[in-house]
Chain A
Amino acid sequence: MSNKIGFFVCHCGINISSTVDIKKLLEYAKTLDGVVISKDYKYMCSDVGANLIKDSIKKYKLDSVVIACCSPRMHEHTFRSVVEAGGVNAFNLEIANIREQCSWAHDDKNLATEKAKSLIRGAIAKAKLLEPLATSKIKVTQKALVIGGGIAGIQTALDIAEEGHKVYLVEKSPSIGGRMAQLDKTFPTLDCSSCILTPKMMEVANHPNIELLSYSEVVGIDGSIGNYNVKVKKKARYVNQDKCTGCGDCVAACRLKDRIANEFDEGIGKRSAIYIPFPQAVPLKCTIDAETCLMLTRGKCGTGPLCVEACESNAIDFKQKDEEVELNVGVIVVATGYDLLDPKSLYEYGYTRSHDVITSLQMERLISSSGPTKGEIVRPSNGEKPKSITYILCVGSRDETQCTWCCRIGCMSALKHVYLLKEKLGDDVEINICYTDIRSFGKGYEEFYRKIRGMKTNFFRGRPSEVRKSGDNLTIDIFDTTTNKLFEINTELVVLIPALVSRADAADFSRILRISQSADGFYLEAHPKLRPIDTFTGGIFIAGCCQAPKDIQDSVAQASGAAARAANILSKKELEAEPLISCVDEDLCSGCTTCISVCSYNAIEMVKDGDKSHAKVNEALCMGCGLCVATCPSGAMQQYGFKDKQLKPMIEETV
């Protein structure tokens, strides 16, 4: 019970004082029970304001402090430190938000002042009942886990490793590199994608602080910020990694050579059952595809497996099994990337009706000199060079029946293709672009768009109603909204730019990670503006396209940001745990387990106590969300700092 409360009110420049009568508040506060001192200052968050609070605590021997100012979201942290420095427990502080919830919301000074009075009345009523709380310490495992080896994961891993911390980089496919490795050039500078990516991949492979777990998947996560326990499944490659030299002799020898659709080439090229996804792969090791390999599916491969015969280092091992390893880390950065919307779901665009309708990533593989056609642009139907190519943008993007959002890379990648195709096929190749709006928002993008507009390209503003076969060619009906005319485009190759969607397993994986998804399926950031890299789960950060569609430059920037956020934790040996968590009144708890069912953090368990059982809160796991408190039917669940006995008098005084 506090008897000596200090009341402080901030003018916030004129943000508060122009609408709330500060003098009246000061006089009013003095009349309230328990208030021994009532002071104001223009900026309470400044050094002068802080000293005013600290000095007053000492001079008047205050045991609680009430500050009427902006939202606790802004400065609660600041003022907790101030109060603590003054000698009062940091949690014997109550903030009355008279800015966002009063001065900013109202015009009438008299009414606003009356409202401010009731807000401080409530705050003082609660302040009288505040209890000092102690923060506990959590030891930090100073290692990081990065999930996903695309450009975002690579950048995060390198940045954390450079900070001097151990990093585990887990990649589910046989090689790191991700989507960027599939690209030929990057917009708007037309840098060769693999030329700028490969050095970073090599750096990952050679960095002493990075342990790469490729062809591996995270299957389980326990623990909390500072101490995560992660289970990783290392999938069997059926090739001994230590022995394999990556020479590729086995790939050339395989009986199924050039017979299996190559995922890396988006199904356009073919590979063997034993394969290296692309020449710059890291690690440069072979992997046997267990789904297609004759030995692994039928137990027999002709007169004997040719790969084994070809391999001089005896690396092939059909008996290899999946392995599970456990990692202990303090932080996790999720960089699992995106999927392209399957254009089959938009039947009208003809992806299932014609081989000459392809996706933007398939076109990237055709353009790439290491792709299935060695960089020759050909029509999949007949292998001939197309004389006319038509791009359809926003396939499923900005579409209320599919994906409502913008993919943010479609326009620029189509413009980039125009440049590269004109370079490869000559200026005479006809290129049509069916767009909704050209969004060239990034640095140098608008300039690039201007350049392409000068390159004999037809822009149609509209969405085609249908792509259909017409003889050997394709025709597209499109209503152009700039000329209000219906056009029929006859073309030889159609490239669809599909929407970017969350990974197919994003929902399952979010449950493993205990992080949230937004309505669009991408992982949800803690705050769209001020905490765009954090998740609601402490110590788990997100980077790259798993958070939302973005281009390479934004992915890399966010990745470095995630590394910095991770380093905030990794650089400390210990962390302070927030004490505003749930607690149980064991006598009231009936053991109904409702709280367990609503807790997203697995922070509550049932413990036996004689012949009855009651809930118990794991203080390290509880995030203080308050859900269990609100759901508890008997009132046994309480939250420190927000107990019923503190809130009820506050409400009574306020209203």
Chain B
Amino acid sequence: MKSYVLYPGCVMPTEQYAYEMSIREVFPILDIKLVDLKGFSCCGEPIKSVNQMLSLALSARNIALAEKEGLDIFAPCPMCHLALSESKRILDSDPKMNEKINKFLLDEGLSYSGKSDIVNTLDLLYDIIGIENIKKHVKKPLKDLKVATHYGCHLIRPSEIGRPDDSENPQKMEKILEAIDAKPLDYPEKLDCCGALLTTNLPESALTKTGQKLQKVQEHGFDAFIDTCPWCHRQYDAKQIKAGETVAIKLEVPVLYLTQLLGLSFGISNEKLGLDLNLSPVNKLIIGGK
């Protein structure tokens, strides 16, 4: 059993509970122990454009907390994962910045050394746990469930800092879904933006982006839409009806976290996976060949 510090970020513990619930159900089955730590702060990403130094310091502080435990960090939110990974890259490659940030950390008796790795849901499942291990735990194969994957931008870009999957042709989620007998199909709009980042400035445009993508997904006849990012998920799940209005269509696409669908195939109950918290019509799904 391998242990990871679970870095929850802000969206998951305040609003996207279903992601956290399904994570806490699925990973122990896959022999991953999730360790909770006290004292985590914001990952730093939301203030990067205002104060890059503070953003770096916040990320480094979070990593330093995990280092103190001698554990790697599991950041399920791709935005947190990006912030932590980017900071790690800067601190590992720039000795001057490393020194500066470590001075900040000293106030709290912390230090950053770079020995903790930072993983996301996707590389934890695909690269660390592995497809074969996932297959072993499938109790209710998702017989040919036609699923559309959505990676979101933070998970795959910018490619030069090393992201969990390829920026133009990500395939790990597809491989994981095939392992539980679902049928992930390629569709032209796969890499389209969810719109979430436009929400504060151009809320209408944000919803239009969401609506346009879901409209295509519905037209292609997918049974479910699978994501791993709480920001994207909020757009597609909670805001689905509103998004439908922007494209003048009634959207009825079941939107699930990858970990929720995995949990279903492992035979975990809907309640434990937080499925009743999803606002999209997930009850349309029939799992396990009923």
Contact of B108 with A by CB under 8 A: no
When distances are taken between beta carbons in the complex, the residues of chain B under 8 Å from A353 are 186, 188
When distances are taken between beta carbons in the complex, the residues of chain B under 8 Å from A348 are 168
- Establish whether residues A469 and B188, one from each chain, have CB atoms under 8 Å apart when the complex forms: yes
Interface string of A368-391 (1 = CB under 8 A from B): 000000000000000000000000
Interface string of B218-259 (1 = CB under 8 A from A): 000000000000000000000000000000000000000000
When distances are taken between beta carbons in the complex, the residues of chain B under 8 Å from A475 are 188
- Establish whether residues B168 and A346, one from each chain, have CB atoms under 8 Å apart when the complex forms: yes
Contact of A590 with B by CB under 8 A: no
When distances are taken between beta carbons in the complex, the residues of chain A under 8 Å from B166 are 347
Given the complex of chains A and B, what is the CA–CA distance between A466 and B193 in angstroms?
13
- Establish whether residues B168 and A468, one from each chain, have CB atoms under 8 Å apart when the complex forms: no
Contact of B191 with A by CB under 8 A: yes
- Establish whether residues A468 and B169, one from each chain, have CB atoms under 8 Å apart when the complex forms: no
Contact of B189 with A by CB under 8 A: yes
Partner of B191, one of A346, A466, A469, A470: A466
When distances are taken between beta carbons in the complex, the residues of chain B under 8 Å from A347 are 166, 168-169
* Shortest distance from the beta carbon of B186 to any chain A beta carbon, whole Å: 7
Which secondary structure dominates chain A's binding surface? strand
* Shortest distance from the beta carbon of B202 to any chain A beta carbon, whole Å: 15
When distances are taken between beta carbons in the complex, the residues of chain B under 8 Å from A468 are 188-189
When distances are taken between beta carbons in the complex, the residues of chain A under 8 Å from B168 are 346-348
When distances are taken between beta carbons in the complex, the residues of chain A under 8 Å from B169 are 347
When distances are taken between beta carbons in the complex, the residues of chain A under 8 Å from B186 are 353
Given the complex of chains A and B, what is the CA–CA distance between A475 and B186 in angstroms?
16
Given the complex of chains A and B, what is the CA–CA distance between A466 and B169 in angstroms?
12
Docked complex: B165-186 residues within 8 A CB-CB of A: 166, 168-169, 186
Given the complex of chains A and B, what is the CA–CA distance between A475 and B188 in angstroms?
10
Interface string of B143-185 (1 = CB under 8 A from A): 0000000000000000000000010110000000000000000
Given the complex of chains A and B, what is the CA–CA distance between A589 and B106 in angstroms?
58
**Closest residue to B216 on the A side, CB-wise?**
A470
Given the complex of chains A and B, what is the CA–CA distance between A353 and B168 in angstroms?
12
Given the complex of chains A and B, what is the CA–CA distance between A347 and B159 in angstroms?
14
* Shortest distance from the beta carbon of A287 to any chain B beta carbon, whole Å: 37
Given the complex of chains A and B, what is the CA–CA distance between A468 and B220 in angstroms?
14
Docked complex: A41-75 residues within 8 A CB-CB of B: none
Given the complex of chains A and B, what is the CA–CA distance between A281 and B166 in angstroms?
43
Given the complex of chains A and B, what is the CA–CA distance between A475 and B166 in angstroms?
22
Given the complex of chains A and B, what is the CA–CA distance between A468 and B168 in angstroms?
12
**Closest residue to A354 on the B side, CB-wise?**
B188
**Closest residue to B188 on the A side, CB-wise?**
A468
Given the complex of chains A and B, what is the CA–CA distance between A441 and B186 in angstroms?
42
* Shortest distance from the beta carbon of A41 to any chain B beta carbon, whole Å: 58
Given the complex of chains A and B, what is the CA–CA distance between A346 and B169 in angstroms?
9
* Shortest distance from the beta carbon of A418 to any chain B beta carbon, whole Å: 27
Given the complex of chains A and B, what is the CA–CA distance between A475 and B191 in angstroms?
14
**Closest residue to A348 on the B side, CB-wise?**
B168
Given the complex of chains A and B, what is the CA–CA distance between A468 and B191 in angstroms?
11
* Shortest distance from the beta carbon of A373 to any chain B beta carbon, whole Å: 27
Given the complex of chains A and B, what is the CA–CA distance between A626 and B168 in angstroms?
48
Interface string of A312-346 (1 = CB under 8 A from B): 00000000000000000000000000000000001
Docked complex: A399-452 residues within 8 A CB-CB of B: none
Given the complex of chains A and B, what is the CA–CA distance between A466 and B189 in angstroms?
10
When distances are taken between beta carbons in the complex, the residues of chain A under 8 Å from B191 are 466
Given the complex of chains A and B, what is the CA–CA distance between A299 and B168 in angstroms?
44
Interface string of A464-478 (1 = CB under 8 A from B): 001011100001000
* Shortest distance from the beta carbon of B213 to any chain A beta carbon, whole Å: 12
* Shortest distance from the beta carbon of A392 to any chain B beta carbon, whole Å: 15
Given the complex of chains A and B, what is the CA–CA distance between A470 and B169 in angstroms?
18
Given the complex of chains A and B, what is the CA–CA distance between A347 and B169 in angstroms?
6
Interface string of A460-493 (1 = CB under 8 A from B): 0000001011100001000000000000000000
When distances are taken between beta carbons in the complex, the residues of chain A under 8 Å from B189 are 468
Chain A CB count within 10 A is highest, among B166, B168, B188, for: B188
* Shortest distance from the beta carbon of A589 to any chain B beta carbon, whole Å: 45
Known: A348-B168, A470-B188, A475-B188. 10 other contacts (CB 8 A): A346-B168, A347-B166, A347-B168, A347-B169, A353-B186, A353-B188, A466-B191, A468-B188, A468-B189, A469-B188
Q: List 12 A-B contacts (CB under 8 A).
A: A346-B168, A347-B166, A347-B168, A348-B168, A353-B186, A353-B188, A466-B191, A468-B188, A468-B189, A469-B188, A470-B188, A475-B188
Which 3 pairs show the lowest CB-CB distances between chains A and B? A468-B188, A347-B169, A347-B168
